[in-house]
Amino acid sequence: MVFPQIQLVVFDWAGTTVDHGCFAPVAAFIESFARFDVESTGAQARAPMGLHKKDHLRAIASMPEVARQWRSVHHRDWNEEDIDSLFAEHFVPLQLESAVRHSQLVPGLLSCVEELRAGKIKIGTSTGYFRGAADRVYAFAAEQGYCPDNNVCADDVVAGRPAPWMVYRNMERLQVYPPQAVMKIGDTVPDIEAGRNAGVWSVGVTHTSSEVGCTAEELGSLRREELERRIQAARQTFVAAGAHFVVDSVACLAKLVERVNHGLQDGQQP
């Protein structure tokens, strides 16, 4: 009997491979609501991170405090026409502007990809970005030397995360199966859930994540106790969401793949 090995890793983008701390979407969400005279916080903007951006807007608008403000300012509850306006007229141009500004590769990514490819592992991606923003991020990442074998954005499938369709689309295009030969890594709960829903190995990443929410410089300046508190909180969040594994950064991934491959030989399954 031939046991499968990891043949494909599907990476998230912001907060996993680019944009240390996942800041590009946060500013766009806050400013979009501000243009409707509704204040939202960074914590509120981050809470639904990982969803398709229009779903993300709905999730913020549905938060009790945000919904209360909307009702107070506009003398009615928000509706789908409001979400369409928030998205098309405000969020999209703001996101297009911020996506490139916050698309620097995270430390260790290129060496990680090199190690994986040396092991004949294909590189796929998924993202909650809409097509315009995704294409800008892809192009800027390529200028920095990161060129995945396949990219899938939320506009390419019938539903974004936590649905499994972006993972499956990568598997289809790169012709990799069964699911236990695939690993999905991301920095949000919907990332973890999408991996679990696809039946693949689901991995959370902490240090660069939206859950921790720090640039590389900010992370390096934290006191040890605060750093450990934030990392542990992110780890617990991912484990509670069903992550099979949690790593500090993508730089740890090649060793994790070796560990999973050994487990596969012993009959372990996602």
Please, which pLDDT band fits residue 176 given cuts at 50, 70 and 90?
very high
Tell me, rounded to whole angstroms, the distance of Cα 157 from its chain centroid.
16
pLDDT in tens, 183-235: 999 999 999 999 999 999 999 999 999 999 999 999 999 999 999 999 999 99
- Judged against a pLDDT cut of 90, whether residue 106 lies above it is answered with yes
pLDDT in tens, 61-82: 999 999 999 999 999 999 999 9
pLDDT in tens, 137-168: 999 999 999 999 999 999 999 999 999 999 99
Find out if CATH 1.10.150.240 is the number for domain 24-101: yes
pTM of the model as a whole? 0.91
Fold entry, domain 8-22+103-265: Rossmann fold (3.40.50)
Average pLDDT for residues 3-15, to the nearest whole number? Answer: 94
Between helix 131-143 and helix 92-101 the angle, nearest 10°, is: 10
Cα–Cα distance, 183 to 65 (Å, whole number): 37
Structure tokens at 148: 């995945």
Nearest CA to 91 out of 125, 126, 135, 60 is that of 60
Given a contact cutoff of 8 angstroms between Cβ atoms, the answer to whether 256 and 246 are in contact is no
Position 50 scores a pLDDT of: 87
pLDDT in tens, 77-101: 999 999 999 999 999 999 999 988 8
Would residue 53 show up in a list of annotated catalytic residues for this protein?
yes
Percent of the chain predicted with pLDDT > 70: 99
Rounded to whole angstroms, what are the CA distances from 36 to 71, 72, 89, 260?
11, 12, 11, 48
CATH 3.40.50.1000 boundaries in the chain: 8-22+103-265
Element (H, E) at 11: strand 8-11
Catalytic residue among 53, 54, 122, 184: 53
Position 155 scores a pLDDT of: 94
Position 2 scores a pLDDT of: 61
CATH 1.10.150.240 boundaries in the chain: 24-101
Please report the sign of the dihedral spanned by the C-alpha atoms of residue 215, residue 64, residue 91, residue 192. Answer: positive
Structure tokens at 186: 């991301």
Sorted by sequence, the CB contacts under 8 Å of residue 130 that are 6+ apart come out as 52, 53, 92, 95, 153, 154, 155
**Chain-wide mean pLDDT for the chain?**
95
**Residue 122 backbone dihedrals phi, psi, to 5 degrees:** -85, 155
